[in-house]
Amino acid sequence: MLSQSAKESLYTGNWNQGTIEAIYPLPLLPQFVVPKNQDQEKAKMYATLCYNRFFNEPGIHKKRHGAREEAEHIIKGLKSCGFTIRGPLVDWKWSELLKHLKNFVNAAKDDCSVIFIFIMSHGAQGVLYDKDGNRGDINELLKTLSEVKNFLPVVSPTF
């Protein structure tokens, strides 16, 4: 089903935007698969973690005890899978989060095969709260991902 050059790129070349674009329209599987044991030169996998602990007093949100430890476990797991980690961004204000995500996406978008974005904070339907309890619109956050090509697998925040 794949051309010879696409197969060579898939099995021996770098997993970058071109590789993903070559196999994206093909009905190979109902989901995208990153091959096991890809090294940093083949699968360009990038991740970022952003979390708030809500340690400011008096806070309107409950403190998130254990958030740092949880993030460290996630980072360790992602690194063991070959992800390059950007961050973490800790105790962020809304404007800092948007800037961090925009910089992350711009740095990774042309040379990646997978992007993983993990955000831990308090929130409500359509809203995330920054470290000071200020509301941020999730749609505004999702706009920062608009630079990512639609054929790249993107794991984005779960709300």
Answer yes or no: are the C-beta atoms of 146 and 104 closer than 8 Å. Answer: no
Q: Which residue has the higher pLDDT, 153 or 121?
A: 121
H-helix or E-strand containing 137?
strand 135-137
Q: How far apart are CA 20 and CA 9, in angstroms?
A: 10
Domains and CATH numbers, the chain: 4-155 (3.40.50.1460)
Q: pLDDT-derived band of residue 116, with 50, 70 and 90 as boundaries?
A: confident
Q: Which residue has the higher pLDDT, 69 or 113?
A: 69
Residue 6: strand, helix, or coil: helix
Q: pLDDT-derived band of residue 99, with 50, 70 and 90 as boundaries?
A: very high
pLDDT attached to residue 126: 85
pTM score of the predicted model: 0.70
- Tokens in use for 95? 């404007």
